[in-house]
Structure 1
Amino acid sequence: MLPENILLSVAALLALSTTTAVAELKYSNDTGGSVKLYGQFNPAYLSFDDGVASYGDLVDNEVSNSRVGIEVKQEFGSSVLIFDFLTGMGFGQSSNYSQTGDPDFFNWDRTFVRELQLSLKTENAGTFTFGQGSMTTDGVAQSDLSGTKVAMYNGLDTVAGNYEFRTAAGALSGVEIDDTFTSFDSSRRGRIRYDSPSLNNFTFSAAYGTNILTPNNDDIFADAAVRYKNEIAGTKIIGSLGFSRRTRNGVDRDDTFGSISGLHPSGFNLTLAAGSRKDSGSYSFAKVGYIADWLSVGKTSMAVDFYNGSDFVTDGSSSKSVGFGVVQKFDAANLETYLVVRSYEYADSTNSYLDASSVLFGSRWKF
């Protein structure tokens, strides 16, 4: 008999796979206003092998977690006022499972709130935002046109982040995936933010904020980013570059990082990213993919990526990962099903470590 957690995984994925598309949950008035309910479910089965033992659980895919939100818009002449509330649903996140313990299957708290913000979007002056939401460098490391971003992107720590490498002797080392594979991508804070209008395909942004959802946290965050979006001879190109600073107890931590992705009309695509943390490590990331129209139900996206990091845990350390993923879209059901296989290697001058691997299989349904 299959273990109960595998049965739960299969049942959840089959339930989503048979879901039909639903009408947009939106109400509009006659004065340019609207109210929309939206969200997604993204359950997955995560398997992790640390070279000694294997583990498997039904998880919420933190690459793009299950969430629900409400958006209220109202036009005022050429400007639009937007209120947005968006929260994760509180299911156990894929990065929180480990050899030493698992999170509760459901445990919502305020740290799951992604957005609680008010924005004013103007025609010529840009967009002004206040409240809980993304810093400007959130997503800067993840410009990606491969079609596989739902489960496979430059954010390896979101899948199996709390799992530890084992030493060659088989003992847990205390060195986690989260410690050795990072993109430096920023998160969401209580902040004020400004985004410029598009200027020759470039957008400039800046933000300043604090971590208002975590008690007794006095960290201060400031960042700035520039984004680029264009299409040249049929090839789509997006890119971003950012700088972020976290100040804790008077000490600054500075990150500089960016990414670029191109999609050719043939379906072939290339994504590159790199970043460095001042005095504390750097990485490079590359992904090659192909998007095919093989099935009438939707596009099939495939990609292989490589991550190379150094000096994250100790000076001279190295982190390497290779991943392969496939994503199949089912357009009529607003559904994507995916499978991602990944290997992890870590080395430093202190110990020898066993290689590890993970498999992520799941479906994301949007409404």
Structure 2
Amino acid sequence: MLGGKTFLFSAAALVGVSAGLLGSDRSFAADFGGNCCADLEERIAELEATTARKGNRKVSLTISGWVTQQIMGWDDSISSDAYVGTSLNDLGTRLHFDGSASINNEWSAGYSLRFDITGANGFVQDASNARGGEGPPGLLNSYWWIKSERLGRVSVGRQSHSADDTWVDVSGAGSIFAANLVIFDGQNFQLVPQGTGRRAKARWGDIGNCYTTGVGIFADCAGDRTDSVRYDTPTIAGFVASTSWGGDDHWDVALRHAGEFGAFKTAFGMSYHENKGDPRINTITDTSIFQVSFSALHQPTGLFGVVYYGNEDPDGFKDSDQLYLKAGLRTNLTSLGATIFYGEYGRGDDMFSGLEGGAVFSGVTDLCDGFAGTGGNIDTACAGGAAHTSGSTFERFGFGVVQELDAASMALWLKYKNYDGEIDFIDAGGATGKESLENLHIYALGAAIFF
């Protein structure tokens, strides 16, 4: 990415997300307002009547959102435990206030206020901190918009810019909560060099770091909310083009499509984003980002697949590449709702260099500090002088099952994730080396209920 139209378009995002780290805007499936996922139209129509509505005589108020929590077990090869918590921002507990008013037969105007109800979450929790992420509610969106049926929509304020959530997924909102291209679960857990039995200061997010935001989210590297001006064209033959500008300075362009071709429901997204000088969350350096994604669902059988590719070109560092794949089966085994079986795979190349430009969660700024005291290959090499990253690989896979409960606007999931990685380095004498990392295992049983 189920109650309420405003919610569903957001729930299909993601990702989110992504941003907040991941952004999500409303009504992607209808007019591509910034969400990741072009699906669930029938579900929207069925559940829209349950949305709480109020407002004055001219401007409506729609209240919607979701509550999500999970039990997350983990094993980092040193110890294991289980925590209760949610995810961050786009997949965490959310509260939305949206409204609109008709100006005439062609023009309308409206607003969006969205909040992240922050709690302990798998994005901040680590091996010694079960309560990571707790804090006050945070503002995600705050913007107004004006729209013409012929000319498109302009929105101004804190919002998802056009390159946010280029990832698309038509497998269903429940599947998006369980399996998202952003590493919402476990990114803050410490890396363990293979065979050492010691945790480093460096985290899994450091080996999946995005330079634009300076945060380890693995993909959707433009996936944060910004103070910006955004324009979206009307839908033309299923296509919507978008552009946005803001901050000091960033700009982007995007093209999206949603449609049906015979028995297939499809969604496509492509974007280019450039950030020059705008600090964003914890920007490491100026960057440009290219992203493309395609998703298809064979409606008679329920077979689906998703592919995403991203490339980030940071000034002063190596380009990084991100690949994410998901495939599975959406089927109706019971009258309760759809049952979704899925598998996922992701690979990020050369994303670890961000550690040397600043790391948000680990608090280290060079490779030697990140692995000091572990006794691993990097720590040994650093005894002879400074060592530097020359490359890295972060691989992840997972699988799970999601059960949607239509009568309760709810989705339950059971999932497993596995993180694996290697870091290439050069020591002070110019010799090359490699640090292999112990796998991080994550298991989770969770649910989201939508209102």
- TM-score interval for Structure 1 and Structure 2 normalised by the shorter chain: 0.7 to 0.9
Q: Which residue is equivalent to 2:230? A: 193
Q: Distance in 1 between matches of 2:147 and 2:206?
A: 38
Task: State the shift of 1:233 in Å.
Answer: 0.2
Q: Which residue is equivalent to 2:43? A: none
Q: Which residue is equivalent to 2:102? A: 75
Segments of structure 2 that go 5 or more residues without pairing to the other structure are 1-46, 209-217, 280-284, 353-388, 425-433
Asked whether 1:163 is paired with 2:200, we answer: no
Q: Confirm or deny: 8 A CA contact 2:125 2:132 kept in the other structure.
A: no
Q: Which residue is equivalent to 2:204? A: 177
Q: Confirm or deny: 8 A CA contact 1:61 1:151 kept in the other structure.
A: no
Q: Confirm or deny: 8 A CA contact 2:417 2:441 kept in the other structure.
A: yes
CA RMSD, 1 decimal: 2.1
Asked whether 1:305 is paired with 2:349, we answer: no
Query: Aligned partner of 1:311: which letter?
Result: D
Task: State the shift of 1:102 in Å.
Answer: 4.6
Q: Which residue is equivalent to 2:246? A: 209
Q: Distance in 1 between matches of 2:81 and 2:275?
A: 35
Q: Distance in 1 between matches of 2:420 and 2:333?
A: 34
Name the TM-score, length of structure 2 as normaliser. 0.70
Asked whether 1:289 is paired with 2:324, we answer: no
Task: State the shift of 1:93 in Å.
Answer: 2.8
Query: Aligned partner of 1:75: which letter?
Result: S
Q: Which residue is equivalent to 1:4? A: none
Report the 3-state secondary structure (helix = DSSP H, G, I; strand = E; otherwise coil) of the residue aligned with 1:124.
coil
Report the 3-state secondary structure (helix = DSSP H, G, I; strand = E; otherwise coil) of the residue aligned with 2:407.
helix
Task: State the shift of 1:106 in Å.
Answer: 3.8
Trace 1:35-184 onto structure 2 (pairs within 5 A): 35-62=61-88, 64-77=91-104, 78-103=106-131, 106-108=134-136, 112-140=138-166, 142-147=167-172, 148-156=175-183, 158-168=184-194, 169-181=196-208, 182-183=218-219, 184=221
Q: Distance in 1 between matches of 2:127 and 2:262?
A: 50
Q: Confirm or deny: 8 A CA contact 1:167 1:354 kept in the other structure.
A: yes
Q: Confirm or deny: 8 A CA contact 2:231 2:244 kept in the other structure.
A: yes
Query: Aligned partner of 2:272: which letter?
Result: F
Greater Cα offset, 66-75 or 345-354: 345-354
Deviations 1:227-250 (A, max 9, x none): 111100021110101111222379
Segments of structure 1 that go 5 or more residues without pairing to the other structure are 1-20, 211-218
Q: Confirm or deny: 8 A CA contact 2:249 2:278 kept in the other structure.
A: no
Q: Confirm or deny: 8 A CA contact 2:250 2:278 kept in the other structure.
A: no
Q: Distance in 2 between matches of 1:126 and 1:319?
A: 40
Task: State the shift of 1:30 in Å.
Answer: 7.1
Q: Distance in 2 between matches of 1:185 and 1:56?
A: 31
Query: Aligned partner of 1:208: which letter?
Result: W
Q: Distance in 1 between matches of 2:133 and 2:242?
A: 37
Q: Distance in 2 between matches of 1:70 and 1:324?
A: 34
Task: State the shift of 1:108 in Å.
Answer: 1.0
Q: Which residue is equivalent to 1:16? A: none
Report the 3-state secondary structure (helix = DSSP H, G, I; strand = E; otherwise coil) of the residue aligned with 2:99.
strand
Q: 1:93 to 1:222 in 2, by over 3 A?
A: farther
Q: Of 271, 276, 280, which aligns to 2:306?
A: 271
Q: Distance in 1 between matches of 2:330 and 2:399?
A: 14
Q: Which residue is equivalent to 1:5? A: none
Q: Which residue is equivalent to 1:10? A: none
Query: Aligned partner of 2:443: which letter?
Result: V
Deviations 1:200-249 (A, max 9, x none): 22111111223xxxxxxxx6332221111110002111010111122237
Deviations 1:331-359 (A, max 9, x none): 11110111120111101234221111111
Task: State the shift of 1:254 in Å.
Answer: 1.1
Q: Distance in 1 between matches of 2:310 and 2:402?
A: 27
Q: 1:247 to 1:360 in 2, by over 3 A?
A: farther
Trace 1:245-256 onto structure 2 (pairs within 5 A): 245-248=274-277, 252-256=286-290
Q: Confirm or deny: 8 A CA contact 2:121 2:134 kept in the other structure.
A: no
Report the 3-state secondary structure (helix = DSSP H, G, I; strand = E; otherwise coil) of the residue aligned with 1:175.
coil
Q: Distance in 2 between matches of 1:81 and 1:30?
A: 14
Q: Confirm or deny: 8 A CA contact 1:234 1:264 kept in the other structure.
A: yes
Asked whether 1:235 is paired with 2:232, we answer: no
Report the 3-state secondary structure (helix = DSSP H, G, I; strand = E; otherwise coil) of the residue aligned with 1:159.
coil
Task: State the shift of 1:175 in Å.
Answer: 3.3
Q: Which residue is equivalent to 2:412? A: 337
Q: 1:261 to 1:249 in 2, by over 3 A?
A: closer
Report the 3-state secondary structure (helix = DSSP H, G, I; strand = E; otherwise coil) of the residue aligned with 2:390.
coil
